[in-house]
Chains A and B, each alone.
Chain A
Amino acid sequence: ETGVTQTPRHLVMGMTNKKSLKCEQHLGHNAMYWYKQSAKKPLELMFVYSLEERVENNSVPSRFSPECPNSSHLFLHLHTLQPEDSALYLCASSQMGTDTQYFGPGTRLTVL
């Protein structure tokens, strides 16, 4: 695997389910990001992890819970989501001290 990978690519869940999104970067980076991409809206930065510590949380509801166990892996744990949470969730990584972020293919989430 190369670059940034995300699994699953598609996920359909009910409002009472609990699921997790996984991101893995193979670039040796030390910063990782979660973005939400909804139709007709700009990309929204959700969380930023730097050296496995969360350094930014942009007022994201607590039903989204990130986890970064090491510099290569990032998870987004989901529970009791709402239909308006349906979106494409993108993971990105970068090397601290640079501004270029590399994105994964995203997980298309549908909440019923």
Chain B
Amino acid sequence: AQSVTQLGSHVSVSEGALVLLRCNYSSSVPPYLFWYVQYPNQGLQLLLKYTSAATLVKGINGFEAEFKKSETSFHLTKPSAHMSDAAEYFCAVSVDRGSTLGRLYFGRGTQLTVWP
């Protein structure tokens, strides 16, 4: 069975500080992994995705994530937080690779607060 665990439902950082949002997955086959961001009253926007190419994936807004198979992790980082980064972040896994229809399994989300 596949699942996603996001450690910490709330993370607070100061503006300019490092952002680290944790995601661990469980999958019986090599997964595709995603990070989505949701701003208030909006839908989910794709930040970045890992699809078995480079293990360090760069996304939009200065975010990046590293796939670590040995740790079954896909943590999201940004070197310097900005006020505009305040949002909810969702990690997701897809294991239906090769099928005609991918299915995403989401974590519960992590709310990021950025203090001035």
Q: Which residues of A contact B (CB under 8 A)?
A: 4, 6, 31, 40-43, 45, 48, 50, 55-56, 90, 92, 94, 96-106, 108
Between A and B, 24 residue pairs with Cβ closer than 8 Å are: A42-B108, A45-B103, A45-B104, A48-B101, A50-B100, A50-B101, A56-B103, A90-B43, A96-B100, A98-B102, A99-B32, A99-B34, A99-B49, A99-B94, A99-B102, A99-B104, A101-B104, A103-B36, A103-B43, A105-B41, A105-B42, A105-B43, A106-B41, A106-B43
Closest-by-CB residue of B relative to A48 is B101
B108→A103 contact, CB < 8 A: no
Minimum Cβ distance to chain B for residue A87 (Å):
13
Closest-by-CB residue of B relative to A49 is B101
Closest-by-CB residue of A relative to B51 is A99
Please give, as numbers and ranges, the residues of chain B lying within 8 Å of A96 by CB-CB distance: 100-101
A99→B43 contact, CB < 8 A: no
Please give, as numbers and ranges, the residues of chain A lying within 8 Å of B41 by CB-CB distance: 105-106, 108
Find B90's partner among A6, A43, A55, A106 (CB 8 Å cutoff).
Answer: A43
A90 to B36, CA, bound (A): 14
B49→A100 contact, CB < 8 A: yes
A5 to B107, CA, bound (A): 24
- With contacts A31-B101, A48-B101, A108-B41 taken as known, whether A100 is within 8 angstroms of B46 at the C-beta atoms is yes
Number of A-B residue pairs at CB separation under 8 A: 56
Please give, as numbers and ranges, the residues of chain B lying within 8 Å of A56 by CB-CB distance: 103
B100→A97 contact, CB < 8 A: yes
B residues 21-43 near A (Cβ < 8 Å) are 32, 34, 36, 41-43
**Per-residue 0/1 for B76-113: is the Cβ within 8 Å of any A Cβ (1 yes, 0 no)?**
00000000000000100010110011111011110000
B42→A55 contact, CB < 8 A: no
B43→A104 contact, CB < 8 A: yes
Is B45 an interface position by the 8 A CB rule? yes
Minimum Cβ distance to chain A for residue B91 (Å):
11
A97 to B96, CA, bound (A): 10
Please give, as numbers and ranges, the residues of chain B lying within 8 Å of A103 by CB-CB distance: 36, 43-45
Please give, as numbers and ranges, the residues of chain B lying within 8 Å of A98 by CB-CB distance: 102
